Structure 1
Amino acid sequence: MIGLFLGDTDFSSIVLKKVKKLKKKFFIIDFSKNNKFKKEKNSYRISIGKFGKIIDLIKEKKSKKVLFAGKIAKPKFSTLRLDLKGIYYMPSVIRAAKLGDAAIIKSIIKILNDEHIQVISSISYNPELAAKKGNLTRSKPSIFDLKTIKKGVSYFNKSNSLDHIQALIVKDEKIISKESSKGTKMMLNKLKKKTGSILIKFPKKKQDLRMDLPTIGLRTLKDCKKYGLKGIVLKSKKNIFLDRKKCINFANKNKIFIKVI
């Protein structure tokens, strides 16, 4: 039996749908803001501060593997109600929180590993969602675009391993905007229209690829059109690509390139 730790975004629902299609036995710990999965059978709402209750449930279900999917918001630590294991483990999570969201994820994985619970990749059941190398659209980046993309990729390679940045906007061999903790959409919203720039969406340096993979979908493409971006660049097998056919059709129609490197 697989334990599904599900948060917000469409990705969590897609993972659940695939697990059902494969007829896998599962249970859900619902970490979404509004109890998104409350109507699902075997769905439980447990505070992230109650590690004891979470671990007991996993062991009660005789599950040795869990999977995280969807955005799990950083909790307000001051308001969490802790059980005994929560009291024991929470200091390490709070220390990690000071280093960024990636560090929180790593600390939770370590806690589960300490309890002999394996965390598997979020796309273990949905490998088709991983973008593969190549140019996916009719439009392609120019030679000058490739130089600009190289500049952005170099930034990711040099960035701090716990940096929250998963997206950059680049233009004319310069980085013109970086993603904040508020996400890619907020970064795009700050752009002026018709920028002619390129979105690079990569995992964080040394990111644990079992959780929180950078994601694009049709909403991302529509935002790119709105602000006049000419293309999107993804990392091979390290991005989640939702609504692939719709995205590629939309990109072709609007002369936006999607390149996977």
Structure 2
Amino acid sequence: MKLGLIAGNGRFPFLLLDAARAQGFSVVVAAIRQETDPEINHRAAGDEKITVHWLSLGELSRLIEVFHQEDVKMAVMAGQVKHKQIFSSIRPDWRLAKLLMNLRTRNTDMLLGAVAKVLGDEGIELISSTTFLEPLLASEGVMTSREPDEDERRNIEYGLGVARGVAGFDIGQTVVVAAQACVAVEAMEGTDAAIERAGALMRTLEQETGDEESGEPASTLERKLTIVKVAKPKQDMRFDVPVIGIQTIETMIRAGATCLSVEAGRTLLFDRDNLMTRANAAGIAIVGVGRGY
């Protein structure tokens, strides 16, 4: 059995590669020069059932050609391609240029959905990126030793409404909340950058509104932040699935964030054991919420 792996950045492609190999698949990796970690070459060097082809972002015709040559009829996307790369660094070939010209809107869902259709028309089925990684999906309920306190639960409730509204417009999937006020909304910069921006803003507020005599912050917003990350209302699990990794927890610690809410069953938690250990050590609460929350 052969699987095509369209590999973006981060650890996601490696996790999926290992899971697919464990299930007996030979894997043909389409590595994106601007995104994929070169370590993928070392992984392939030790396994004759892994083949790596390097492509530039925008070479859709070349991707189809590679998969046809390798007799790939089923493929999966794993790993992010930075949104700003898609809309600034991309140099489309004729096939992708034609696709872009026919898009009603140039958001990532529309673009990747169109790419999936082109692949399907060429006999290459794009499957869910969680197919081999279902054990990594967030469970419903509190996943850490500490539960969210009442303020954090109110932040989650408020943040879910905002995040789902923003995600519905395909702007971003994460909001940062303090005292039931939205401090930051994720856009093209990504989740971690949005959290960092919120932390910097809170530090600025403290400096500008602090009590000069006591030295204590006088901001009406509490210092601690709650992160709320959701899937899109009509999330296509074939691509752009919400992901949380240890780097997000480290970013939260630096920003002063104390609580993380994710959607159960629709968010991947990478390196889960280490992630939870680090969160517990930092006193961070992580909760998975169901669709009916």
Normalising by the residue count of structure 1, what TM-score does the alignment of the two structures yield?
A: 0.88
Shift of residue 100, structure 1, vs aligned partner: 2.0
Please name the residue that 2:69 is paired with.
Answer: 60
Aligned residue identity for 2:28: F
User: Taking every aligned residue pair, what percent have the same amino acid on both sides?
Assistant: 20
2:276 is the counterpart of 1:248: yes
Query: In structure 2, how many angstroms separate the alpha carbons of the residues matched to 1:80 and 1:199?
Result: 35
Query: In structure 1, how many angstroms separate the alpha carbons of the residues matched to 2:250 and 2:230?
Result: 19
- What per-residue deviation string (whole Å, max 9, x for no partner) do you get for residues 105-142 of structure 1? 22211221222321111121111111111101121112
Please name the residue that 1:116 is paired with.
Answer: 123
Aligned residue identity for 1:207: Q
Q: How does 1:46-85 map to 2 (within 5 A)?
A: 46-73=55-82, 74-75=85-86, 80=91, 82=93
2:97 is the counterpart of 1:90: yes
Larger Cα-atom Rg: 2
Query: In structure 1, how many angstroms separate the alpha carbons of the residues matched to 2:63 and 2:35?
Result: 19
1:122, 1:210 within 8 Å by CA — same for their partners in 2?
yes
2:183 is the counterpart of 1:176: yes
Please name the residue that 2:7 is paired with.
Answer: 6
Query: In structure 1, how many angstroms separate the alpha carbons of the residues matched to 2:86 and 2:180?
Result: 38
Cα gap change, 1:173 to 1:111, in 2 (>3 Å): same
Aligned residue identity for 1:116: G
Query: In structure 2, how many angstroms separate the alpha carbons of the residues matched to 1:66 and 1:156?
Result: 30
Unaligned runs of 5+ in 1: none
1:139, 1:255 within 8 Å by CA — same for their partners in 2?
yes
Aligned residue identity for 2:99: S
Specify the SS of the correspondent of 2:224.
coil
Aligned residue identity for 2:78: A
Please name the residue that 1:212 is paired with.
Answer: 240
1:101, 1:162 within 8 Å by CA — same for their partners in 2?
no
Shift of residue 72, structure 1, vs aligned partner: 2.1
Shift of residue 62, structure 1, vs aligned partner: 2.3
Please name the residue that 2:267 is paired with.
Answer: 239
Shift of residue 247, structure 1, vs aligned partner: 1.3
Query: In structure 2, how many angstroms separate the alpha carbons of the residues matched to 1:137 and 1:76?
Result: 38
- What per-residue deviation string (whole Å, max 9, x for no partner) do you get for residues 74-96 of structure 1? 346786262xxxx2442333554
Query: In structure 2, how many angstroms separate the alpha carbons of the residues matched to 1:216 and 1:34?
Result: 18
Please name the residue that 2:23 is paired with.
Answer: 22
Give the aligned CA root-mean-square deviation in angstroms. Answer: 2.3
Query: In structure 1, how many angstroms separate the alpha carbons of the residues matched to 2:230 and 2:152?
Result: 17
Tell me how many residue pairs correspond in the alignment.
Answer: 257
Normalising by the residue count of structure 2, what TM-score does the alignment of the two structures yield?
A: 0.79
Cα gap change, 1:64 to 1:151, in 2 (>3 Å): same
1:159, 1:205 within 8 Å by CA — same for their partners in 2?
no
2:39 is the counterpart of 1:33: no
Query: In structure 1, how many angstroms separate the alpha carbons of the residues matched to 2:281 and 2:124?
Result: 46
Shift of residue 32, structure 1, vs aligned partner: 4.4
Unaligned runs of 5+ in 2: 45-49, 204-221
Please name the residue that 1:135 is paired with.
Answer: 142
